A and B are shown apart, each in its own frame.
Chain A
Amino acid sequence: MEKIKVGQGDLVQMNWDPISRIIGNLGVYTKIDFKNGQVGECKVTSSLFRGYSVFMKGKDPRDANFITSRICGICGDNHATCSVYAQNMAYGIKPPPLADWMVNLGEAAEFMFDHTLFQDNLVFVDFCEQMVKETNPSLLAKAEQTAAPHAELHGFRTIADIMRAFNPFEGSVYKEALQIGRLTREMCCLMEGRHVHPSTLYAGGVGTVATPQLFTDYQVRLLNLLDFVKKAVPLNDDLFDFFYEALPGYEEVGRRRIQLACWGSFQNPRVVDYRYANMNDWGRSMFVTPGVIVDGKALTNNLVDINLGMRILLGSSFYDDWNAEETLVTHDPLGNPVDQRHPWNQTTLPHPQKRNFDGGNYSWVMSPRWFDPQSGEMLPLETGGGPLARLWSTALAGLVDTPYVKATGSSVRIQLPRSANLPETEFEWKVPQWCNTIERDRARMYFVAYAAAMALYFIDQAMNEIRAGNTRTFTDFAVPEEGLGVGFHEAVRGCLSHHLVIRDGKIANYHPYPPTCWNSSSTDSDGVPGPMEEAVTNTPIFEENGQDGFKGIDIMRTVRSFDPCLPCGVHMYLGGGKVLKESHVPMMGMVGRAKRP
């Protein structure tokens, strides 16, 4: 096995490329100090070039939402929605209120679907009995002896029982989550016509015919879901609290400085007019408040500041600089100067080359940063997997106040009404002490409860429109010869923006910036690592396997806490030409596992 000596510790190279149970193009290259039990270095790389910003040029802007939806196979509707927001701004239109309520309902269903699937079917495989037995047998023994504090709510007596319920293909939570996935996708289809690439969502509104039955169909499914959510939140809390208790110091796994980004979600149709000039007002009235959180404090909740602060650095990516290219937007509609490194002015110039981790380029992901005008820093913001930033920003802002969800300034209170088997329940997500692996994962199920509670509110509002006879769901528009638009939204795994420039009635520039661009960004030209790289670096190793049987479970938990998505195989490179290839079906190899030395 190859050993690389750096400083005093012996660092062993350990690489995972691609990572399984996420979208299949992410590689994590680490150097681990087994003597001191921590990760010494980490580089995160993507070997896949997509090129949406290249081939969108010259297309009809009305096609943008249908094309960009294909960016992702799991949160495509988030992209479609974000694109629609950008187009609404560029065309100068505002959809009827009912259309915005319906989009909110579709997106709430998407959040519930995707978070449940990712948490229970993908993330929890890292916390299941089978995995813990292989990586931390003494922890499993302790879990067998530890009573679950909320056993009366979720029905699992011990923490080990919870872990057993996460076992892939067999565990009860794993199987129930698949059922919930079906239910929530149906809800999304009701509002947006199709999941995951919506067919009835477009600039100016939705094509879904709004009838009372549409909303009751949605509501029936939502109420069926509530029992699951009421059990899932305390079940998640029991498991994560156990990890803190049983493994002292586990809070350091995946921990980094708090630098969170949330671009806001769920428009408020009473306020939003999609005009750039009023963007701060309608941004702050969103039902998930946008914000940049640094060191536990909100730097801003203004979408205009957020927009102008965006900088796309080349970092260690395979692209050429666009400094000499045309500046399409010198000033925003308010007269503020727009930087050449802003997405509106970006020209993507791909330059494929050999991967070089020693001070060279190694990834297709650029380095989006947010320029903090106060400190002058280029901040490597992360999304905390999505829910952590959303809840944190919403909690601190204290602006969301609905019958079901209330932000208090330090927490978010979520009220769920009585459902089939369980009484009225209140959850409170409190701003945590750390931004780490466990808190990223914990926030996820709270956000499912948040989305469910908001959906109840959106149904009420949509039904009010219907009862008043306001059934209009779309508005006419003409595509302007010249236009400028930006959409701010939340993809399931975090902040999402689409920047659009129209010239001669066609797309002159289009730049989607999805959350994983921020999370898995490469080390920038100032040597600042991307969020995922920083979170893995210095992570302590709690795994009981030695160097030879090392699975990297703590690293995998950290990477997956950011919620990259979808499965493939694993090839583990141990250095010195020794390669362990392990191919298996998506879930940890319960079935069809094939090992080769």
Chain B
Amino acid sequence: MKKEESIRTGKPKVKPTALTHVRGVRCGNKPGSYEKEPGHQPDGRSNARRSTGINAEARNPILPEMPNLSPA
């Protein structure tokens, strides 16, 4: 294909050999990340805040003994 016929593209900003994880970018695996996730409790359970940020408390089960199974 001649040069003038090719699709115009910008200059690549990343080399194909660049790592996915770059210093300075927050890593989801970093220790302490779990505690920062809204709705995820320290004991491994979760509540409605996991699924929504809008009035989450009102969407928890009405009785404490009921399982707290929020939607995806």
Contacts and interface: CB of A to CB of B under 8 A. Distances in A.
Interface in A465-511: 466-472, 474-479
A213 B72 contact: yes
A478 B67 contact: no
Given A62-B21, A209-B72, A469 B34 contact: no
Contacts of B46: 469, 471-472
A448 to B, nearest CB: 29
B44 A476 contact: no
A96 interface: yes
B20 A471 contact: no
B32 A476 contact: yes
A54 interface: no
Interface in B3-53: 19-21, 29-34, 40, 44-46, 50
Interface in A262-313: none
Contacts of A476: 29-34
A87 to B, nearest CB: 10
A204 interface: yes
A199 to B, nearest CB: 13
A477 B44 contact: no
B36 to A, nearest CB: 10
A471 B29 contact: no
Given A476-B34, A478-B30, A469 B68 contact: yes
A409 B50 CA distance: 46
B56 interface: no
A204 B29 contact: yes
Contact of B19 (A59, A203, A211, A469): A59
Nearest to A478: B31
Nearest to B27: A62
A40 B29 CA distance: 56
| Interface size range on B against A | 20 to 34
Report which residue of B21, B30, B68 has the largest number of chain A beta carbons within 10 angstroms of its beta carbon.
B21
Contact of A60 (B20, B33, B44, B69): B20
Nearest to A209: B72
Contacts of B44: 96, 469-472
B19 A60 contact: yes
B29 A466 contact: no
A591 interface: no
A474 B34 contact: yes
Contacts of A467: 67
A209 B32 CA distance: 19
Given A62-B20, A62-B21, A63-B21, A469 B31 contact: no
Contacts of B30: 476, 478
A209 B48 CA distance: 13
A153 interface: no
Interface string A182-217: 000000000000000000001110000101111000
Given A470-B45, A476-B31, A214 B72 contact: yes
A466 B44 CA distance: 11
B39 to A, nearest CB: 9
B69 A203 contact: no
Nearest to B36: A476
B50 to A, nearest CB: 8
A213 B44 CA distance: 19
A477 B27 CA distance: 10
B69 A466 contact: yes
A469 B31 CA distance: 23
Nearest to A204: B29
Contact of B31 (A62, A63, A212, A477): A477
Contacts of B67: 466-469
A428 to B, nearest CB: 39
Nearest to B51: A209
Contact of B69 (A59, A202, A204, A212): A212
A222 B69 CA distance: 23
Contacts of A469: 44-46, 67-69
Given A59-B19, A60-B19, A472 B31 contact: no
Nearest to A469: B45
B20 A211 contact: no
B60 to A, nearest CB: 12
A326 B67 CA distance: 55
B49 to A, nearest CB: 12
A424 B20 CA distance: 49
Nearest to B44: A472
Nearest to A474: B34
A66 B21 CA distance: 13
B28 to A, nearest CB: 8
B11 to A, nearest CB: 24
A461 B50 CA distance: 23
Given A209-B72, A211-B71, A471-B45, A60 B40 contact: no
Nearest to A477: B29
A475 B34 CA distance: 7
A238 to B, nearest CB: 44
25 contacts: A63-B20, A66-B20, A96-B44, A204-B29, A209-B72, A211-B70, A211-B72, A466-B69, A468-B67, A469-B45, A469-B46, A469-B69, A470-B44, A470-B45, A471-B44, A471-B45, A471-B69, A472-B46, A475-B34, A476-B30, A476-B33, A477-B31, A478-B29, A478-B31, A479-B29
Shortest Cβ-Cβ A-B pairs, 5 listed: A472-B44, A469-B45, A209-B72, A471-B46, A476-B31
Given A477-B31, A479-B29, 17 more contacts: A62-B20, A62-B29, A63-B20, A203-B29, A209-B50, A209-B72, A211-B70, A211-B71, A214-B72, A469-B45, A471-B45, A471-B50, A476-B29, A476-B31, A476-B32, A478-B29, A478-B31
Interface of A: 59-60, 62-63, 66, 96, 202-204, 209, 211-214, 466-472, 474-479
